Amino acid sequence: MIGDAAERDVATVLAQLGFDLVYQARASRGAFDLLATRGPLQLAIQVKRGALPLSFRRADWQRMAADAKRLGWRWAVASVDPAGATHFLDPAKARRGQAVRLGKPAIIENLVAWLDG
């Protein structure tokens, strides 16, 4: 697994949660930084460094949603805050306006249960 420190941190957490394979997505796969598998399920992850709330340009958000739908992937955002804590965020709980924002209400408490649900 290569990539920046935040991507490595998220990949480590995913492996600890029992994901079978975590690898860095390539540009040909679209807008995501990581792709993780758990059995037949594929989870695409956009990794962001910084404190919550996170902000996305609408065009970037729409690209992630379209790529995930086209490829049949579930997707989430991972935030690695300045203290090194990793949080997974549910895109369905984003606030949309001129930008798309994900804050504390979007935190997924149990990623495996969320993915299985």
What's the number of CA atoms in the CB half-sphere (13 Å) around residue 52? 17
Residue 2 has what pLDDT? 39
Amino acid found at 16: Q
Could you tell me the CATH number of the domain that includes residue 111? 3.40.1350.10
Spatial distance between the Cα atoms of 40 and 68, rounded to a whole number of angstroms: 15
Amino acid found at 60: D
What total of structural domains would you count in the chain?
A: 1
State mean pLDDT over 64-83.
94
Residue 29 has what pLDDT? 52
pLDDT single digits (tens) 75-92: 999 999 989 899 999 999
Amino acid found at 30: G
State mean pLDDT over 34-54.
92
State mean pLDDT over 63-75.
93
Domain containing residue 38? 5-116
